[in-house]
């Protein structure tokens, strides 16, 4: 951590808790001013206060990135508050645990709209401002679910595979604007979303509650769930000058669970 992001402005969606909160605080610790965006106004405001305690500027906005108006308002909030935009972190995401035969079209559309469609169109909305910065950074949060079979949350896995694909495409499309686009693929992270997967998923797989976490730990060489800060550290690296020659990458942060 340091001051290499001093003068930079970042947006973090889903920034009110979990991985998003950790990334927002990490970028602030590295010197950035941060717009914390979340559906939950109270949690967004709480993280903004944490950032202010680090003596960095912060703004909070309650926004639904699944709507075009929400995305427009999000980018405008950053420009209105700080006059520029250098970093976009697309972290907002949802999961629904169901067997394929129980997935409804409404559920499918909801997961796709938040996890994939919103990521693409937020990147497009932010592009002019990131280009103007001269060294823009986009970090999309995908998942190792994009690279594994996901029989109990197929829409989630498909949506995250889409994030990897659009990351690669936008990396090439945005390169002339000197915007680097990469994505992170976390394994199980000790967050409220993982608790939801563990609680809802285990019974539907015929497992006792909590057993799914134990199984995942057995397949993780480092032997523990990730903490949000583990993911935030890699995000911090991607925003640093040390990552100036990286774009279009889907980086696993999985404790060795996924090695390709």
Q: Which residues are catalytic?
A: 156
Please spell the DSSP secondary structure of the chain, one letter per residue.
--STTTT-EEEEETTTSHHHHHHHHHHHHTT-EEEEEES-HHHHHHHHHHHHHTT--EEEEE--TTSHHHHHHHHHHHHHHHS---EEEE---------GGG--HHHHHHHHIIIIIHHHHHHHHHHHHHHHHSSEEEEEE--GGGGS--TTSHHHHHHHHHHHHHHHHHHHHHGGGTEEEEEEEE--BSSHHHHHHHHHHHHHTT--TTHHHHHHHHT-TT-SPBPHHHHHHHHHHHTSGGGTT--S-EEEESTTS---
Q: Cα–Cα distance between 20 and 37 in angstroms, integer?
A: 9
Q: Cα–Cα distance between 91 and 77 in angstroms, integer?
A: 17
**Nearest C-alpha neighbor of 119 from the set 66, 59, 72, 172:** 66
Q: Cα–Cα distance between 137 and 119 in angstroms, integer?
A: 14
Task: Judge whether 251 and 185 are in contact, CB under 8 Å.
Answer: yes
């Amino acid at each position: 951590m340091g001051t290499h992001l001093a003068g930079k402005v970042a947006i973090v969606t889903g920034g009110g808790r979990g991985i998003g909160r950790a990334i927002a605080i990490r970028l602030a610790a590295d010197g950035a001013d941060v717009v914390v965006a979340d559906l939950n106004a109270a949690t967004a405001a709480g993280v903004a206060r944490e950032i202010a305690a680090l003596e960095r500027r912060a703004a909070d906005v309650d926004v639904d990135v699944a709507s075009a108006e929400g995305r427009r308002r999000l980018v405008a909030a950053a420009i209105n508050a700080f006059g520029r935009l250098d970093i976009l972190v697309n972290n907002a995401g949802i999961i629904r645990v169901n067997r394929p035969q129980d997935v409804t079209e409404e559920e499918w559309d909801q997961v796709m709209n938040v996890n994939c469609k919103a990521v693409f169109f937020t990147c497009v909305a932010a592009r002019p401002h990131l280009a103007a910065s001269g060294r823009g950074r986009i970090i999309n949060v995908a998942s190792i679910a994009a690279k594994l079979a996901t029989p109990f949350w197929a829409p989630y896995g498909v949506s995250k595979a889409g994030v990897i694909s659009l990351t690669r495409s936008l990396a090439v499309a945005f390169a002339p604007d000197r915007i680097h686009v990469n994505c992170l693929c976390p394994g199980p992270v000790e967050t409220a979303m993982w608790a939801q997967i563990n609680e809802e998923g285990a019974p539907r797989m015929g497992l006792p509650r909590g057993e799914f976490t134990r199984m995942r730990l057995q397949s993780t060489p480092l032997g523990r769930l990730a903490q949000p800060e583990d993911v935030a550290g890699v995000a911090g690296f991607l925003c640093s000058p040390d990552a100036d020659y990286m774009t279009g990458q889907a980086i696993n942060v999985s404790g060795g669970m996924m090695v390709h």
